[in-house]
Amino acid sequence: MSLYGVLVGVKGATGREGRCLVWALRWLFEFVKHYPGLLRPIAAPIGRLMMKYWISALTAIFLSLPVTARAAPVLVDTQWLEERLDNSAIVIVDMTDDQMQYRRFHIPEAVRLPYSALVRRTKSGVALRIPDRRLFALLGELGISRDHHVVIYDDMGGLHAGRLFWELERGGHPNVSVLDGGLVKWILEGRRVDNRWKQAQHQHYLRGEEGGRVNEVGLTEVKRRAARGSATLLDVRSREEYLGNPKAKRSGHIPGARWWPWDKSVDFEGRFQRHSAANLEASLEAVGVTGKDDPVVLYCRSGHRASQAYLTLRSLGYENLHLFDGSMLEYEQDRGAVLQTGTTPGEGRDACRSC
């Protein structure tokens, strides 16, 4: 493909400046094609000038293209982060379970964000994500701009960090990672900590023109997918929640959903790191997730544990993931939504034995 063809192909994804550039170049190409003789005397100096301009223009276009492959790894290790503590391009976000923990000690330069700041409760008690305008304002308050690489950690095996990771991918933030093992691994390795409250420099966070990853699904779509079997539904709650209580009026799981508990993905006896990719992928294949592009819907009771599972699957390279944010708190309130108790046919008790 010619350079002109490449530019035309990306004009719809490069913003106003990129589109203007493409149309200007298109006019120039057409002029040269019809009147080549007029440019021969000045071809050499124009060529040198255009080459210089091409490099700058193509660099700008490349940087403005939507991210199709992640620029940052989903998980980073403690050594990687320690070597970059003084890097102003990185914002570290502390999402440990207790605010007093942050006051006692935290990773140097980390700003504090409680999990509760990312969720709201409806009148019926369903936990849902906050509106985008509030999310972006919150990011700005934390000193985060779209140019920053955000590194999140907690002390819960990614249980809290996964929520912000999901939100930032949904919002199209270019670079976001989670610290594997979080504060637990950091402390056990004897790395330095701080107890001073980090005052962030306020930023004006702007959402990208192209939006983010489509990684959310609502109640209506969940029921449709469950009825048609068009996606693998993963219930990441405890086994007791999944099986249901015969004495309860509404309990059990969404019909066809497979049980894949979130906590089996974390080595809680091994510094709270994620289990090996080989074991986790084998456990996912055992419950029907056989390809990295297979459509998967994740849910729990409130979307909390499911966001950690989302993080885990993204770290393994799974792409077609959707979080049912309202999860069972919303599903159970819909009297027309069918619930199933016991095990799903084809699922054995040891489905997650290899986790």
Both structure tokens of 66: 């939507």
High-pLDDT (> 70) share of the chain, %: 77
| Count of C-beta atoms within a 10 Å radius of residue 5 | 9
What is the pTM for the complete model shown? 0.79
Q: What pairs with residue 351 in β-bridges?
A: none
Question: Which amino acid makes up residue 298?
Answer: L
Which CATH number applies to 75-188: 3.40.250.10, 3.50.40.10, 3.40.50.1370, 2.60.120.200?
3.40.250.10
Q: What pairs with residue 94 in β-bridges?
A: 112, 153
Confidence band of 111 (pLDDT split at 50, 70, 90) = very high
| Residue 353 or residue 180, greater confidence | 180
- Give the pLDDT confidence score for residue 44 in this predicted structure: 58
Q: Which helix (H) or strand (E) holds 153?
A: strand 149-153
Determine the Cα angle at 203 with ends 200 and 208, to 5°.
Answer: 135
**Lowest-confidence segment of 33-42, 171-180, 234-243, 258-267 by average pLDDT:** 33-42
Rounded to whole angstroms, how far apart are CA atoms 244 and 141?
Answer: 42
Which residues make up the CATH 3.40.250.10 domain(s) of the chain? 75-188, 216-331
Residues 6+ apart with CB under 8 A from 201: 143
- Give the pLDDT confidence score for residue 226 in this predicted structure: 95
The CATH code of the domain at 216-331 is 3.40.250.10
- Give the pLDDT confidence score for residue 43 in this predicted structure: 54
Q: Is a pLDDT exceeding 90 seen at residue 325?
A: yes
Confidence band of 39 (pLDDT split at 50, 70, 90) = low
Interval 114-139 mean pLDDT: 97
Interval 15-43 mean pLDDT: 53
- Give the pLDDT confidence score for residue 208 in this predicted structure: 79
Determine the Cα angle at 122 with ends 246 and 219, to 5°.
Answer: 60
Residue of 224, 205, 239 whose CA lies nearest to 348: 239
